[in-house]
Amino acid sequence: MAENRQTAQAQGNLAPGEPVLRQGRAADPVPAAGALNVPARSSALTRTSGDRAPGPGSAAGSVPKTDGGAGSADASLTDETPDNNAPDAENPAAIEQALAESQQRKLRLMLKQCDRVLLMDFDILAMSEWPDNYSLATARRSRDLWLFSALLAAVIFLSGLTGFIPAWIAGGGFGAFVIILLMGMPAIRRIYTSRPSYLDLIVMRKRMLRDARKHIEHLEGKEGLIWQCARMVEFNPALRAARFSELLALSEHRTLARSMTRREYIRLYLIYLLEAEKAYDRAQKAFFDGNQEALDRGWASVAASPEQRA
């Protein structure tokens, strides 16, 4: 019987699950399918599925790859295809509107920062009644002559007291001294002459300087007027002149008003304000022209009025 089983085993006619008998040792039962460990089953299944011919399952399994390729192709087509709903910033009309709105906002800020230039009082800063040097020299000479006459009369009077000269001459000197002193008083001096004295001219100069400095302090405010007006240089290149550089630095550091100690500085400040006023008028004209153009083109966000001053 053993020989028959060996013959059947060689021919491959054994039934599955039937014990295999080998000569010289006991028969070993075929291990059950459930007794195989998980790694062995997994490797066996992997080898089996790899050796198997592709069937309907494998064709179905290739579908995700096809879907993935289609998805990537669709993504590339989406990237290459221009978006019809692109933002308005790519539209030339929208870009032009944005530029116009930015320009109007810039002009509005310039007009707001430099609007105090319209408060300038030309007469105070021009100081047209400023006493010139000739009038000052004439008044100084008259003052020196008055002082010399009064001193001479006083010397004559004192000389008469010592007996050096006769008494009647000393009395005349005393009378002349009193008359000269009275002529030096402002109320009496205005009777015989309308020309101001040297002291009046000095007081007038100081008063005009004080008024001009107060007006400059009012114009400059807390931010510095001409320093902010310097941004309108594109409307008046004269604001870029080198002679205004010191004024701009003082205005930026908020020390301009107390640095105006001479008439030359105040006149230079007045010249700058006149040039800034020209630039302000041109900027205002450009702003209103831009507003009108925005209204004509229907840009409501661009066409805005200047902000009200506080």
Over the Cα atoms of the chain, what is R_g? 55
Give me the pLDDT at residue 34, please. Answer: 45
Point out which residues pair with 116 in neighbouring strands.
none
Q: Which of 173, 147, 148 is nearest to 158 (CA)?
A: 173
Half-sphere exposure of 306 (CA within 13 A, CB side): 19
Q: CA 252, CA 246: separation in Å to the nearest integer? A: 10
Q: What is the pTM of this model?
A: 0.61
At residue 87 the predicted structure's pLDDT band, cuts being 50, 70 and 90, is very low
Residue 302 is predicted with a pLDDT of 64
Measured CA to CA, the distance from residue 145 to residue 258 in angstroms comes to: 37
> Which residues does residue 20 pair with via DSSP β-bridges, in sequence order?
28
**Confidence check: pLDDT of 48 > 70:** no
Q: How far, CA to CA in Å, does 7 sit from each of 18, 19, 20, 104, 218?
A: 14, 14, 12, 107, 127
Tokens 């290149």 locate to 237
Structure tokens, 4: 């028959």
**Per-residue pLDDT tens over the stretch 249-295:** 999 998 999 899 999 999 999 999 999 999 999 999 988 888 777 76
DSSP letter string over 88-99? GGGSHHHHHHHH
Give the residue-averaged pLDDT of 43-71: 42
Residue 37, classified by CB atoms within 10 Å of its CB into exposed (0-12), middle (13-18) or buried (19+), is exposed
Would you list the DSSP string of 6-47?
A: HHHHHHT-PPTTPPB--TTSPPBPPPPGGGS-HHHHHHHHHH
